Structure 1
């Protein structure tokens, strides 16, 4: 059975010309842009299609532009495919887009909210005080540890985005971010300083969060018609009454996107469609959970492939090895010994990750021996991360159930747990 999730991009996905194809070919998309123009009181359509980039990059214009393009794409998706998703999620700004698409926030109100949100975020931190950097090729536990080590009251740095198992974003005062960058590079991290106008999703946004909360409290909200995953806890909203609190919290707390992807996987989602400009979320999903089929509605080739897939009913079945990797990543770590973590988590994880890549390259079905190697890796990760017996049992149950592989390992679970207890 196909289970679809739609995900909506955040700031950074914008580009001059976005949404123009939909505008010119679908009346419902054109109507969406016209609604935004009226709600905002300026020509957002021309800004999206023609720029200039200097204006499109300004946060107070970027956010309504991305939301409008994403809602236009969503309306075209529903018109063309008429298949409601099981879940929706959005990255940062995209969470508001998801709530809009789900019917919880009226579109005209949403574009006004995000315009003000962008203005508040820009005002909250004076230019040059804060910054953000993307950190790759290092696990988030090490990034968190380094941030804690170098932070001071006047020059702090923290994780603002947990994007993938090996990519996080840090934010804070310039001095704090630079200090963290130096130590992270020594550990082998790749660092890219982001071109942002303010440090988002950290305590430097406290004033912006307060101002946004005052605006949000002026509105009434409906319960989402489709479950929407919140950024701050990677769990579905429980009714519209939680919207103000969740969107306010999101301003100063990290985006838990990796946990969101894992949640969708655990719910049996097997198709994810990024609806809006760009391919950032599709690419993160492909790298993190390769057994989920991921598409970008902004790419013509993806659109054609998705249409063929939905008409044929063909789906990729959950891969045992990729599920072992996913569970290893999303299990909480309680062991801060760097040497033990390297030997018991990072090295075995990378071996199995390489093995899976080789299997996928030759389009081979994993053998029982290869599955056993992945299972052994997962056992070692649990032991190294000091995972409780109860959680291990729950994780193994989850693995065997989702991959329909109980019969292949009839004695593994009982024998393993007995050995651990004794």
Structure 2
């Protein structure tokens, strides 16, 4: 089995239309965006699918948008392939996506945290005061020296991202960034000014870091299911207790991405999968660790290649089987009724529902795994409920697809009339 790591991108990867095809194809992705909408109190999904690009680019919108798509892709991957990652790593904002997918932060909490993180970072420095620029074609030592020469008590420029051997990003006061950039350009470097709303990962973000520290006191964190690499140390988190301090510190510290990727390689990782919009981290992986196979879940060709590479197995387990029965019962209840014949309703809805409800109670009470016959009974109950309630065929098909998407058990019923 290949060792796999998931990579989660940061700001700059967003684009209008992101996530739409994923949500069209997978109910669990739609539900992820709907949960984000409910949590934030506005239509994030609409903003991602068809919103104005400038509105989407606002950091308080960009951060929850990218996190939501990253989590949606992760959930789809888990259903489709059922192969757990050995490590997770995220670039800046992506570190919160990684922690969320590793189970350390509840998704609804994470969406609120990054929304606030974006607000804190934007208001920390007035627009026009700070700047960032990507630097290529020159050594790390020379960039570090130039940052030091152009920083003093009144202005500062620092390295914000160690992205790869070829690319470093500098950040700080606009005047200092421009001076450093001009001097580096004179030495042969290529400079690309970045269209950002604030000088991220620099000392100018200190007010945001302090507000983040206070904000994180409102939330509960749990132990990680998978090791997550910290931007600050380029090493895995030690425990859940280190989460608040790391997330506060990374706002003002450089992202040590090159070191993070080299660490994953030393740990034997052979495959990395980018979860989020575009392919920025996939491309950086090719520069940092060319021996590692890199895929992006936002690219359909990559998803197909990844599926072939990992040879997906089914997701059959006791938990997934119990979940199928639970979902059948839940959908039976919430499906709209169009049949007002009481006798037929009792025979076609109430009685079969009660039998499956009693079956679930017995299975859970005795800690038993449902058999294939018992799963079939739950699905046939739901089919009977649909027929009795006069549910249209398209909705029936969508509901059964939803159940099989969520549980990964569709392979058990390929020859049945449920899908």
User: Contact 2:262/2:288 (CA < 8 Å) preserved in 1?
Assistant: no
Q: Deviations over 1:28-52 (max 9, x none)?
A: 0000000000000000000000011
**What residue is the counterpart of 1:303 in the other structure?**
303
Flag structure 2 segments of 5+ consecutive residues without an equivalent: 314-419
**What residue is the counterpart of 2:72 in the other structure?**
72
**What residue is the counterpart of 2:268 in the other structure?**
268
Pairing 1:70-109 to 2, within 5 Å after superposition: 70-109=70-109
What SS does the corresponding residue of 2:260 show, helix, strand or coil? helix
User: Contact 1:146/1:183 (CA < 8 Å) preserved in 2?
Assistant: yes
What is the CA RMSD across the aligned residues, in angstroms?
1.1
1:277 and 1:158 map into 2 onto residues whose CA distance is 27
1:79 and 1:312 map into 2 onto residues whose CA distance is 10
What SS does the corresponding residue of 1:251 show, helix, strand or coil? coil
1:20 and 1:227 map into 2 onto residues whose CA distance is 30
Pairing 1:379-398 to 2, within 5 Å after superposition: none
Pairing 1:181-330 to 2, within 5 Å after superposition: 181-311=181-311
1:156 Cα offset (Å): 1.2
Flag structure 1 segments of 5+ consecutive residues without an equivalent: 314-422
User: Contact 2:83/2:312 (CA < 8 Å) preserved in 1?
Assistant: no
Pairing 1:102-141 to 2, within 5 Å after superposition: 102-141=102-141
1:279 and 1:220 map into 2 onto residues whose CA distance is 32
Q: Which runs of 4+ in 1 moved over 3 A?
A: none
What SS does the corresponding residue of 1:168 show, helix, strand or coil? strand
2:119 and 2:179 map into 1 onto residues whose CA distance is 29
User: How many residues end up aligned between the 2 structures?
Assistant: 313
1:174 aligned to 2:174? yes
1:12 aligned to 2:7? no
**What residue is the counterpart of 1:403 in the other structure?**
none
User: Contact 2:60/2:119 (CA < 8 Å) preserved in 1?
Assistant: yes
Q: Deviations over 1:16-73 (max 9, x none)?
A: 0001111111010000000000000000000000011111010000000000000000
**What residue is the counterpart of 1:148 in the other structure?**
148
Q: Deviations over 1:343-363 (max 9, x none)?
A: xxxxxxxxxxxxxxxxxxxxx
1:154 Cα offset (Å): 1.3
1:312 Cα offset (Å): 9.2
Normalised by the length of structure 1, the TM-score is 0.73
1:276 and 1:103 map into 2 onto residues whose CA distance is 17
2:254 and 2:64 map into 1 onto residues whose CA distance is 22
User: Contact 1:9/1:90 (CA < 8 Å) preserved in 2?
Assistant: yes
1:37 aligned to 2:61? no
1:142 Cα offset (Å): 1.1
User: Contact 2:165/2:287 (CA < 8 Å) preserved in 1?
Assistant: no
User: Contact 1:16/1:53 (CA < 8 Å) preserved in 2?
Assistant: yes
Q: Deviations over 1:265-293 (max 9, x none)?
A: 00000000001111000000012211100
User: Contact 1:139/1:167 (CA < 8 Å) preserved in 2?
Assistant: no
1:218 Cα offset (Å): 1.5
What SS does the corresponding residue of 2:311 show, helix, strand or coil? helix
2:312 and 2:157 map into 1 onto residues whose CA distance is 49
What SS does the corresponding residue of 1:160 show, helix, strand or coil? strand
User: Contact 1:13/1:280 (CA < 8 Å) preserved in 2?
Assistant: yes
1:166 Cα offset (Å): 1.6
User: Contact 2:204/2:252 (CA < 8 Å) preserved in 1?
Assistant: yes
Normalised by the length of structure 2, the TM-score is 0.74
Greater C-alpha radius of gyration = 2
The higher-RCO structure (CA 8 Å, 6+ apart) is: 2
**What residue is the counterpart of 2:57 in the other structure?**
57
